[in-house]
Amino acid sequence: VHLFDIDIPGKITFIESKTLTAGETPTVVDTDVGRIGIGICYDLRFQELAMIYAARGAHLLCYPGAFNMTTGPLHWELLQRARAADNQLYVATCSPARDAGAGYVAWGHSTLIGPFGEVLATTEHEEAIIIAEIDYSVIELRRANLPLLKQRRGDIYQLVDIQRLNSQ
């Protein structure tokens, strides 16, 4: 949905909008393993998109991504944990292994985060596969213990899901 157009002087400049078009629709899919919200890389930075996925009943958010060596060490895990904790659901990310000789060097560190923001499984920067169990009943337990959804202040702020509004 979001395009990665950045310029960090002396570090990295990357302008996706020169070659790509932004997405227009948040994507939620029903699978044998649950309802999954899909974002790509830079989408991880936008809490509003994750909130829409949660409102649409997603239990797991998946973000394939390739954060770089500038933003990866600072933000990759932090943003995953924030999206999971803010929405009390699971977040899974996958990243390419790091190739130090490539023109664009990925941070790596594919990860699975639990609904309290806890790291359940992670890799380093090499090729690896994460196999982990996800217990969706933990989501309801976390939401019962810390009822964020019930305590949101719709009288002060609102998230508007345009697609849902237009379909009503």
**Mean of per-residue pLDDT scores for the chain:** 93
Give dist(CA 42, CA 3) in Å, integer. Answer: 7
Identify the segments of the chain with pLDDT beneath 70: 164-165, 168
Distance in angstroms (rounded) separating the CA atoms of residues 144 and 137? 11
pLDDT at res. 165: 64
The number of distinct structural domains making up the chain is 1
pTM above 0.85, yes or no: yes
Residue 11 sits in a domain whose CATH number is: 3.60.110.10
Residue 23 lies in domain: 5-167
